[in-house]
Amino acid sequence: MADATTSVPAFAKSLVLGEIDEDLVFPFPIRRDAEEEDRIRRLNADLRSYAAEHIDSRAIDDAAWIDDQVFHDLGELGLMGLYVPTRYGGQGLSQTGYARVFETLGQVDGSLTVALGVHQSIGMKGIVLFGTDEQKERFLPDLAAGRKLAGFALTEPTAGSDAYNLRSRAVRQPDGSWTLNGEKRWIGNGGRGSVLVTFARSEVGGADRHTAFIVERGMEGFESGERYDTMGLRGNDLRPLYFKDVRIPPENVLGEPGDGFRIAMEILNNGRMSLGTGSVGLAKRLLDLTIEHVTERHQFGRPLADFDMVEDKIGWMVSYLFGLESMAYLTTGLVDAGVTDYAVESALAKVAGTEFVWRQANRALQLKGGAGYMRTEPYEQILRDIRIFPIFEGANDVLRSFVTLSVLEPLGEQLDLLTDIDLRDPIGTLGTFADYALDRLRRGILPTAVTRAHPELRPLAGRAGAQVARLRNEAERLLRRHGRSITSQGMKHRRFSDALADVYAQLAVLSRVTSIFEEHGVENSAQERFIAETFCTRAASRVDDALSRLHDNDDDRMHEIARLAYERGAYGYALYEDL
Ligand SMILES: Cc1cc2nc3c(=O)[nH]c(=O)nc-3n(C[C@H](O)[C@H](O)[C@H](O)COP(=O)(O)OP(=O)(O)OC[C@H]3O[C@@H](n4cnc5c(N)ncnc54)[C@H](O)[C@@H]3O)c2cc1C
């Protein structure tokens, strides 16, 4: 949990208090570290040339396997320990630097991206964030060099989104070691991973808590099961894991016993960012493919590119990608600037990124026509690969509830509305919340206005400021109207969280374009300005719509129809009776 006295406060949560902490987002937080820039460019160039020669995405899909040699080679190129500190053999990249390399990876192959994502974004992340010096010395050099692979084992047959309710159990023995029993399912790098950060329930100080363990391949009683046969990401080595009386020495406990659930959530909060920025990378590749196709392919005597509805799709792809990219990199920039509570921002970027790239891939295939349906083209594989993105690392709807309840909590405390309402664990699994409200009160109140956007962007800035004020009003109205039952208002969570995402994205775009104006001049940045105006105008209208529909909606009818359907157990309104 963030230390309220020293941490840099959360940004998105402050928006719902009606405050814009401009110091956090202006200037756009791109790191200008020349040494890191060189390193990123070299890593990206090496990755591109290695991939051009050695990675055949279709072959990975057909063989459902990535050769061991690939991990070995990527390790030699420095790509297996991107953010690991250099003293442990890693590249020591910032969060933004890591994201930039992952963008490139996202353009190469889905399975490889996920295998490396499991290894770095969630697998070894816990050791870097919570490991002791001894654990870092012991594990990180091999992991960063690609000699070993890491995994992250949380999900179980009865605990998916509801990860809090794990059944795996570890019992402390008199000699200080632990005995682990249980079963995990759908674990990436599950067969080839040598270091698996694994979560189990355990009794700590008389209470039933969670503890994180570093399980090593070769520990007696630990086995991986048969690989799953999956729709996409077929090169990902996805397996169940079985633990039968596995003895885990005390030096393999990660963090404090009892702190495992918080550790799991913090790892996922961080890992989610890579799905946001990875989606940006893939979206760029899909856009390039689409532009090439629609400008070359002619029908009705004209290039497809000239048709009205084609331009509509391309315009949407470019302008939304600009907004998404701004939001994703604002988030990594906040982390690099020392913001420790970025759970909401990373969830917003993950949800927006994974849903955009899914729709975009569908539209790209549409524009490719029948050819897009052929397996000689990359689209069908991309669609299969990315279908899981809105489900894993937090199902998007669960994240929407998480976002809304997380941002309502500090407002509820400020208004003293929630004295008897515990939003801290709103649906039992949503993780931990920073001591945010206290932090804000200590720091005083900030204005509800965007004052640091470039003067040429004033109308957009004025509107974004007004939308922040509206967010706060609507949040207050929700809390006053629903009180304790706000935790079960999922449809409202969805609208509020989508509105917050679009306000956050507008602020990200304003900051980014302000920096562009300052660096290149307004006259030389006309295209960026035009795209920013378009994105912000569309985003603002989505915000207005989502917030209005908090009150003006047919949610009751949806509840009613769903319940009738559960009762009937089927559709049941067929026009004709069959035999
Ligand atoms: C390819 C792949 C790779 C994976 N890799 C890993 C890994 O490396 N490590 C690991 O630990 N796990 C991994 N997982 C597991 C993954 O994280 C889970 O699938 C995910 O957390 C969702 O859990 P579930 O599938 O049990 O879905 P459930 O929890 O059963 O949910 C199903 C659906 O119900 C809806 N839903 C659930 N709860 C709510 C709610 N509160 N409000 C509204 N809607 C809701 C959502 O639409 C959700 O998608 C992987 C899974 C896959 C398929």
Say yes or no to pLDDT of 428 above 70. Answer: no
Write down the catalytic residue from 325, 393, 413, 476: 393
Whether the CB of 115 sits within 6 Å of ligand 1: no
What is the 186 CA–ligand 1 centroid distance (Å)? 10
User: Distance between CA 239 and CA 232 in Å, rounded?
Assistant: 14
Q: Percentage of residues in the chain with pLDDT exceeding 90?
A: 88
Find the length of the chain. 579
Domain boundaries, the chain: 151-261, 396-564
Atom of ligand 1 nearest to the CA of 233: 1
User: Distance between CA 214 and CA 180 in Å, rounded?
Assistant: 11
User: Distance between CA 290 and CA 304 in Å, rounded?
Assistant: 10
pLDDT digits 0-9 by tens, 447-497 = 788 999 999 999 999 999 999 999 999 999 999 999 878 999 999 999 999
User: Distance between CA 471 and CA 479 in Å, rounded?
Assistant: 12
- Closest-CA residue, ligand 1 atom 20, reads 392
Say yes or no to pLDDT of 195 above 50. Answer: yes
pLDDT number for residue 427: 43
Q: Where are the alpha helices (H) located in 526-578, listed in sequence order? A: 526-548, 555-568
CA distances to 112, 235, 237 from 61, in Å: 10, 6, 12
Task: Indicate the pLDDT class of residue 9, thresholds 50, 70 and 90.
Answer: low
Shortest CA distance to 264 belongs to which of 196, 348, 332?
196
Whether the CB of 303 sits within 6 Å of ligand 1: no
Q: Where are the alpha helices (H) located in 152-208, listed in sequence order? A: none
Token pair belonging to 472: 């706060």
Q: Percentage of residues in the chain with pLDDT exceeding 70?
A: 93
Residue 434, C-beta contacts closer than 8 angstroms, at least 6 positions apart: 1, 2, 4, 7, 10, 340, 341, 343
Question: Which of the following CATH numbers is that of domain 151-261: 2.40.40.20, 3.40.50.2300, 2.40.110.10, 3.40.50.880?
Answer: 2.40.110.10
Whether the CB of 468 sits within 6 Å of ligand 1: no
- The answer to whether the CB of 105 falls within 8 A of the CB of 112 is yes
Q: Is 393 a catalytic residue?
A: yes
User: Distance between CA 5 and CA 443 in Å, rounded?
Assistant: 10
pTM of the model: 0.94
CA distances to 3, 172, 366, 436 from 8, in Å: 9, 37, 45, 10
CA distances to 181, 451, 474, 487 from 496, in Å: 41, 25, 9, 13
* 302: helix, strand or coil: strand
User: Distance between CA 107 and CA 113 in Å, rounded?
Assistant: 9
Whole-number mean pLDDT of the chain?
93
CATH 1.10.275.10 given to domain 396-564: no
Q: Which residue has the higher pLDDT, 417 or 323?
A: 323
What is the 350 CA–ligand 1 centroid distance (Å)? 14
User: Distance between CA 289 and CA 296 in Å, rounded?
Assistant: 11
- The answer to whether the CB of 341 falls within 8 A of the CB of 409 is no
* 151-261 and 396-564 share one fold: no
Token pair belonging to 446: 């900030």
Question: What is the 3-state composition of the chain as percent helix, strand, coil, each rounded to the nearest 5?
Answer: 60, 10, 30
Across 54-58, 471-475, 572-576, least confident range: 572-576
- Closest-CA residue, ligand 1 atom 50, reads 186
CB neighbourhood size of 297 (10 A): 15
Tokens 């933004």, residue located? 96
CA distances to 110, 295, 346, 353 from 334, in Å: 27, 39, 10, 18
